[in-house]
Amino acid sequence: MNLHIFKTNILTIESLEFIIPVFKENTNILKWSIDIEDVDKVLKVNTQENTSESDIINLVTQKGFFCEVLSD
């Protein structure tokens, strides 16, 4: 299992309605969470070994949101 951490622009609970189905449909995503209270709107995603950061970024950006790897 891999943990990926991203900075996003997912600002509201309503915005999550666009993301939830995408993550539910993807069997490589084991668990995910987003902290919309954090300044970086941090998205954490636990995935199967064969899922990359770019895979997650593509899923999120296809729904019209910004997503990049959160660096230290």
List the domain range (segments joined by +) for residue 34: 2-69
Higher pLDDT, 71 or 9: 9
One-letter amino acid at 32 equals W
Give the DSSP letter of residue 71.
P
Minimal CA–CA distance to 22: which of 60, 67, 64, 66?
60
Please give the pLDDT value at position 72. 62
Tens-place pLDDT, residues 7-51: 999 999 899 999 999 999 999 999 999 999 999 999 999 999 999
CATH number at residue 9: 3.30.70.100
Spatial separation of the C-alpha atoms in residues 3 and 18, rounded to whole Å: 22
Task: Please count the structural domains in the chain.
Answer: 1
Give this prediction's pTM: 0.93
